[in-house]
Structure 1
């Protein structure tokens, strides 16, 4: 039995809407198709005047459509300020993310990578890991960090933490679903050769797949895996 088949209740923590699709949309679709209950936690929402209400309503509607296509059971919105998590006390961010994850009670947790260039991503990683501390049997048995195009690869690898995947999920049967779901984000999608283009998303999936002899894959860094007894 593979690790993936053990995942029954899954939480994907996304700093911003679309991070979850870029990082693990194919894996989410595969898990949902296999019967897992997949939840997405969108931590932030753009605030006026930096982001108009109309724009953010559009982005959230796009997320709903993308999640429906992927088979997401429920989308949780925390509505903390986007690009401003560092202005909040860490205790507040920890509490909000922790309360939501406690409600979901996932056995498998996907988080953004600590070395992403966006500070929101770094803070969300840390707050998620605060909640995920194995202080009881309810702690998630699997915690994995995903890569987000235009965030994970834009920092200063060698000086800052580098994304070095050690876990791959074959999404050959779900790549088109991932691409179709990201296409729902009309406000975020760009034309090639921008990294947030469908062509680049496909290219990364094919490259990651070729690394492990799969037609397409998503890559992760395993933060923690717990093999519990009976």
Structure 2
């Protein structure tokens, strides 16, 4: 597990497909890095109007959630976690849930050097990216992030020393490729309550406790990750690169 001295030195960039994925995967780690004096930046890939399953009232099982609502919720979470800055790449409904049909070159360029919080501009010491899943935006962004963090000549482009893929409560439903297996952990015992508070601020996405992505289930999942390494609560990551 990463210790305080190490985390305090990090300039962390979190890249998230949708508003709330950053909370599922690494809100506790973000809070811990900030509390220790490190820097945290977040790039949200896409948000847009969407009709999805949920209590729509009057017996309806679907509801419309606008991109304005998702952005307000996301910004409230960024303030709660005290991140240094955040940016949104796309806020239109045509792009939302359609990153898989966007040329990867465009996504990579934004992540690598064209975006306001691009890797070249921030020069982060650590990048956390979404693990691949059945969601097309997650899958597309994962591959774009891998490309954007590829090795290169240090004098010509910034090579991120630490690249990690973060967890999601939906990853149990993964067929056709290997299940997510954490290879490193961050103890977030002291930040678990804050992580769950952040999840509740994504109010349009909150569902009943039985749902795998509910705040209650997220707390259970974070505690399970903790038990895997003998702490109360932890976030698990797949380590893609480590340069000492």
TM value normalised by structure 1: 0.90
Instruction: Pick closer, same or farther for the CA change 1:104–1:47 going to 2, 3 Å.
Output: farther
Inter-partner Cα distance in structure 1 for 2:90 and 2:119: 15
Question: Aligned in 2, Cα 1:96/1:193: closer, same or farther, shift over 3 Å?
Answer: same
SS in 1 for 2:66: helix
**Alignment match, 2:78:** 67
Corresponding residue for 2:172?
153
Counterpart pick for 1:90 among 93, 96, 104: 104
Report the Cα offset of residue 12 of structure 1. 0.5
Output the TM-score relative to the length of structure 2.
0.85
1:135 Cα offset (Å): 0.8
Aligned residue among 101, 122, 129 for 1:104? 122
Tell which deviates more after alignment, 86-95 or 203-212: 86-95
Q: CA shift at 1:4, angstroms?
A: 3.9
Match of residue 22 from structure 1: 24
Cα drift, residue 224 of structure 1: 0.5
Counterpart pick for 2:160 among 127, 137, 140: 140
Provide the aligned C-alpha RMSD in A: 2.1
Paired residues of 1:43 and 1:97 also in contact (CA < 8 A): no
Does the 8 Å CA contact 1:179/1:198 hold for their aligned counterparts? yes
Q: Does structure 1 residue 165 correspond to structure 2 residue 185?
A: no
Q: CA deviation at 1:134?
A: 2.0
Indicate if the aligned counterparts of 1:98 and 1:127 stay in contact, CA closer than 8 A.
Answer: no
Contact 1:9/1:106, CA 8 A, preserved across alignment: yes
- Change in CA separation of 1:92 and 1:195 when aligned onto 2, cut-off 3 Å: same
> Secondary structure of the equivalent of 1:196?
coil
SS at match of 1:162: coil
Instruction: Give, in whole Å, the separation in 1 of the partners of 2:233 and 2:147.
Output: 32
Unaligned runs of 5+ in 2: 53-62
Q: Which runs of 5+ in 1 are unaligned?
A: none
Query: Any idea what SS the aligned residue of 2:177 has?
Result: coil
